[in-house]
Copies of this chain bind each other. A is one copy, B any other.
Amino acid sequence: MIERRSAYAELSPSQRIIMTPGPVEVDPRVLRAMSYPILGQFDPEFTGLMNETMQLLRELFQTKNRWAYPVDGTSRSGIEAVLISLIEPGDRVFIPIYGRFGYLLQEIAERCGAEVVTVEKEWGTVFDPGELASCIVRERPAVVALVHGETSTGRLQPLEGIGAACREAGALLVVDAVATLGGVPVETDAWQLDAVIGGTQKCLSIPAGMAPITYNERVERKLLARKRVERGLRADGNERDRRGEASLPAGSPIRSNYLDISQLQDYWSPARLNHHTEMTSMLYALREGVRLALEEGLEARFARHRKHESVLVAGLAAMGLKLYGEPACKLPVVTCIEIPDGIDGEQVRAVLLRSFGIEIASSFGPLKGRIWRIGTMGYSCRQTNVLHLLGALEAALLYAGYKLPAGSAVRTALRMYDEMHDKAEEGLP
């Protein structure tokens, strides 16, 4: 009977300080947006909000692409939607791997029926873009899929030059920017990225539930060659007439219905061809979260992420902790710490959560139990959170018997924030 009583209890989640690489704390203004009454999916007021969201997403992705809209699922639904809609069975797909989420791209591409070619880099490092460009020109894949910010290792893969190599090789470049969009520059057009997938629950501080994507005309041409109008929507059963073309497309049909972006773009176009029922409340949240990001300004937002990262890193160093991975390619929004010898990483995490209400993350696969990961993303990326975390982590480490110069971390952080504040008052960079 206990389980039954508990399941019927009123919802009342605790307040947390969430310093993981996602999901992170949601901006209260986004939470408020989700509490508004819903509109019907074809209500002109709602389709107006859909169009506005597309416009906001274009700015966020720094693109002039026509197509920028959310896939209705969590981040990996957006990745799978793009890959399954582009990859025909037997297609050669090139995937550079430097952490867990590279394996995810491989996993998805294989399930799409691709012939996958991978190159791997030791975890904690990234690829030299020139090296990747040479591989791409040599391998001539149909699709290149690449992670921009690898949260499993806290690394950022530079993308400049890779888009040009893909065009030379006739490949489409698909970038997983789930961890970076809204926290680190993602320059879709300038970097010649053909398709980009973002995440909501990381630097945008929106709950998990949608995957904003954008793609260009090179991608759209491929989609149109594979497109089919759904049974039950064809007015007269004649697919050709419906498509207004003389013949069926030459590409093989897309293997998913839910994740078929050739259908999704019809739903997001003025035709509004019925597909799924758009997630009303999540769309409200997405629109509000992106709106807030653009109101802050992308440059100011990126600078805010770098600022709190620098204080966090200095505080951790003052505690005597060692960062994991190659510093040159550190992902600004995720900081990985080597768990000191003799310390039980999970026990420290448990103390932080149970006693301080602060959540940090462990990692996956070979890094499980070896590193902690601290996110400084979106609404969670703020001064009070960094200071609370440093103080609590110091206390948890001391409690676990770790030797450190007590008080240094927070003192270092406070001094840095004061200096930044003074500079800002004087108008200095």
Given A72-B77, A209-B281, A276-B208 in contact, is the A33-B11 Cβ separation under 8 Å?
yes
Separation of A176 and B113 alpha carbons in the complex (Å): 28
Q: Which of A1-48 contact B (CB under 8 A)?
A: 3-4, 6-9, 11-16, 18, 20, 22-23, 25-26, 28, 31-41, 43, 45-46, 48
A46 to chain B, nearest CB (A): 8
**Does A101 make an interface contact (CB < 8 A)?**
yes
Q: Mark A140-153, 1 if CB is under 8 A from B, else 0.
A: 00000000000010
B103 touches A207 (CB 8 A): no
Q: A74-B72, A232-B107, A254-B111 are in contact. Are A14 and B39 (CB under 8 A)?
A: yes
Measured CB to CB, the nearest residue on chain B to A36 is B13
Q: Which residues of B contact A49 (CB under 8 A)?
A: 11, 13
* A100 within 8 Å of B (CB atoms): yes
Stretch among A156-164, A165-173, A283-291, A336-344 lining the B interface = A283-291
Known contacts A80-B258, A281-B34; A233 and B365 CB within 8 A of each other: yes
CB-nearest residue of chain B relative to A16? B39
For chain A, the count of residues having a C-beta within 8 Å of the partner chain is 100
From B56, B209, B276, B287, contact of A75 by CB (8 A): B276
- Does A201 lie at the interface of the complex (its beta carbon under 8 Å from any beta carbon of B)? yes
Closest Cβ–Cβ distance, residue A377 to chain B (whole Å): 12
| A38 and B52 contact, CB distance less than 8 A | no
A residues 343-390 near B (Cβ < 8 Å) are 353, 359, 364-366, 368
State whether the Cβ of A219 lies closer than 8 Å to any Cβ in chain B: no
Q: Counting chain B CB atoms within 10 Å of each CB, which of A8, A75, A277, A359 scores highest?
A: A277
Chain A positions 258 through 284: 1 when the CB is less than 8 Å from some CB of chain B, otherwise 0: 110000000000000011111111101
Complex Cα distance A21/B37, Å? 17
Please indicate which of the listed interface residues A103, A258, A353 has the most CB atoms of chain B within 10 Å of its own CB. Answer: A258
Distance between A190 CB and nearest chain B CB, rounded to angstroms: 21
**CB of A72, distance to nearest CB on chain B (Å):** 5
Residues of B contacting A245 in the complex (Cβ-Cβ under 8 angstroms):
none
Q: Is A249 an interface residue (CB 8 A)?
A: no
Report the separation of the CA atoms of residues A282 and B117 in the bound assembly, to the nearest whole angstrom. 37
Q: Which residue of B lies closest to A71 (CB)?
A: B73
In the complex, what residue of chain B is closest to A354 when comparing beta carbons? B44
Given contacts A40-B20, A40-B23, contact A152 B13 (CB under 8 A): no
A231 in contact (CB, < 8 A): yes
A111 with B253: in contact, given A34-B35, A74-B276, A232-B104 (CB under 8 Å)? yes
Q: Is the CB of A103 within 8 A of B280?
A: no
A295 at the interface (CB under 8 A from B): yes
Quick check: is A108 within 8 A (CB to CB) of the other chain?
A: yes
A77 to B81, CA, bound (A): 12
Contact A37 B23 (CB under 8 A): no
A/B interface sample: 16 pairs, CB < 8 A: A11-B36, A14-B39, A16-B37, A16-B43, A18-B40, A34-B35, A40-B359, A72-B77, A72-B208, A73-B73, A75-B276, A76-B257, A99-B232, A103-B232, A104-B231, A255-B255
Given contacts A8-B291, A72-B208, A74-B279, 16 further A-B contacts (CB under 8 A): A3-B51, A4-B55, A6-B48, A6-B52, A7-B56, A18-B40, A26-B38, A31-B34, A43-B353, A72-B77, A72-B209, A73-B77, A77-B276, A208-B278, A232-B364, A279-B282
Give 10 nearest A-B pairs by CB, closest first: A103-B232, A103-B231, A100-B232, A35-B35, A7-B52, A209-B279, A207-B281, A74-B276, A208-B277, A34-B34
Binding site for B on A (CB under 8 A): 3-4, 6-9, 11-16, 18, 20, 22-23, 25-26, 28, 31-41, 43, 45-46, 48-49, 51-53, 55-56, 72-77, 80, 84, 99-104, 106-108, 111-113, 152, 201, 207-209, 230-235, 253-259, 274-282, 284-285, 287-288, 291, 294-295, 353, 359, 364-366, 368
